[in-house]
Amino acid sequence: MAHLIGYARVSTHEQNADLQHDALTGAGCRRIFTDQASGSRDDRPKLAATLDQVLAGDTLIVWRLDRLGRSLPHLIETIAELERRGVGFRSVTEQIDTTTPGGRLVFHMFGALAEFERDLIHNRTHAGLAAARERGRRGGRPRALTGDKAAAATAMRAAGQNPTTIAATLGVSRATVYRHLTHHASPTPPRDTNAALTVEQNGPDSAPEVARCSTTAMM
């Protein structure tokens, strides 16, 4: 036998759910679950219990749409899940009933509008980033070490200061200092492979002689 199950929600303990209970009782609900929680919260135990309770053929009824979903996408996702399970949905105030053809049409229109809104936000975001790049601006967080601080970090490291001391002095994190020093590390000078080969062949005592030969050749 199909059942009409109601769900009500009030944001705080001071608010009274009597208005919702009266509307749900008038709609034929014999069992009503009530949450006292903000609509933006994910952990609503009575909503979870309601969704567990309803079976195929039942109808979940709310006083108003915003009592069920914390956002339009969440509302549509919840009603779509009910539809997949064969559970109807009805909102008393908006007079939406997914057990009727007209109600299903309105619900699918809501879904199309939500998807359209997501696409608009996505396109506007990418257009804004592209325009910013054309003007030389880049997205993301601004660098913590720029200008004088960056120069000071490089100079302090060259003077033998460790990254912890540099970070404490400049008021930034050690990770920031490490990133800066890694990015601005001085290139390693190329190795004189000819001299190294001569030293390896003649032994380490011949290194001064190699240096003297090189000096004589240059004179």
pLDDT in tens, 92-148: 998 889 999 988 888 788 777 767 666 777 777 877 777 777 776 665 566 667 777
76 and 158 share a domain? Answer: no
20 and 99 share a domain? Answer: yes
Within a domain: 140: no
Work out how many domains the chain is built from and give that number: 3
Give the global pTM.
0.54
pLDDT at residue 32 is higher than 50 = yes
Find the domain containing 212 and state its range. Answer: 189-219
Name the domain boundary from 66, 97, 114: 114
**pLDDT tens digit sequence for 190-212:** 555 454 445 445 555 544 444 44
Within a domain: 14: yes
Cα–Cα distance between 216 and 152 in angstroms, integer? 42
Cα–Cα distance between 61 and 74 in angstroms, integer? 16
103 and 195 share a domain? Answer: no
**pLDDT tens digit sequence for 33-53:** 999 887 677 778 999 999 999
Q: Which of the residues are catalytic?
A: 11
151 and 199 share a domain? Answer: no
Residues paired with residue 10 on neighbouring β-strands, in sequence order: 36
23 and 107 share a domain? Answer: yes
87 and 34 share a domain? Answer: yes
* Nearest alpha carbon to residue 27 among 72, 61, 73: 61
Within a domain: 105: yes
193 and 177 share a domain? Answer: no
**pLDDT tens digit sequence for 151-185:** 888 888 888 888 888 888 877 888 888 888 887 66
**Residue that the structure tokens 């956002």 belong to:** 71
pLDDT at residue 214 is higher than 50 = no
Handedness of CA 174, 177, 179, 182 (dihedral sign): negative
88 and 157 share a domain? Answer: no
Within a domain: 127: no
pLDDT at residue 90 is higher than 60 = yes
82 and 154 share a domain? Answer: no
Within a domain: 15: yes
Token pair for residue 33? 């679950």
CA distances from 39 to 44, 78, 79, 89, 205 (A): 9, 14, 16, 18, 82
Within a domain: 142: no
- pLDDT score at 77: 87
195 and 99 share a domain? Answer: no
42 and 100 share a domain? Answer: yes
Contacts of range 72-76, beta carbons closer than 8 Å, 24 or more positions apart: 72/110, 72/114, 72/117, 73/114, 73/118, 75/110, 76/107, 76/110, 76/111, 76/114
CATH of the domain at 72: 3.40.50.1390
Name the domain boundary from 91, 114, 137: 114
**Residue that the structure tokens 């929680």 belong to:** 37
